[in-house]
């Protein structure tokens, strides 16, 4: 296996996922498309930070933002195919953290 090829991609993946809240935002979106305020209240993140994270994730092609021209306008966030492909990884992080980390930490 050629580590010199894996290394930059592996590190890039870690650098995307390692931003505080990013994992939880993706984790939350695995349950389906949802509005900003729903994500905000579900994970208890501040609106300002959530807005930043969603922009970063859109930029990485992991999240998409859709505007539905209703009255009032409805805006929903969902995972792209690239984002949905993170599901097994998210499940593994959850599994490991449940098995090996203390609840109080």
Please report, as ranges, the residues that interact with its own copies according to CB under 8 A: 3, 5-15, 17-18, 20, 23-24, 27-28, 42-44, 82, 85-86, 88-89, 92-105
Nearer residue to its own copies within complex by CB, 70 or 102? 102
- Give the residue among 3, 54, 4 at the shortest CA–CA distance from 28: 54
Nearer residue to its own copies within complex by CB, 25 or 54? 25
In the complex, least distance from residue 62 CB atom to its own copies, rounded to whole angstroms: 9
* Cα 80 to Cα 49, 71, 83, distances in angstroms: 21, 25, 5
Nearer residue to its own copies within complex by CB, 20 or 48? 20
Q: What are phi and psi of 67, to 5 degrees?
A: -105, 120
């Amino acid at each position: 296996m050629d580590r010199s090829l894996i290394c930059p991609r592996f590190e890039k993946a870690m650098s995307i996922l390692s931003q505080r809240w990013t994992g939880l935002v993706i984790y939350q979106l695995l349950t389906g498309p949802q509005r900003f305020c729903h994500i905000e209240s579900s994970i208890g993140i501040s609106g300002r930070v959530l807005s930043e994270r969603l922009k970063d994730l859109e930029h990485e092609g992991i999240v998409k933002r859709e505007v539905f021209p209703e009255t009032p306008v409805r805006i929903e966030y969902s995972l792209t195919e690239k984002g949905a492909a993170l599901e097994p990884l998210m499940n593994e992080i959850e599994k490991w953290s449940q098995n090996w980390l203390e609840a109080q930490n």
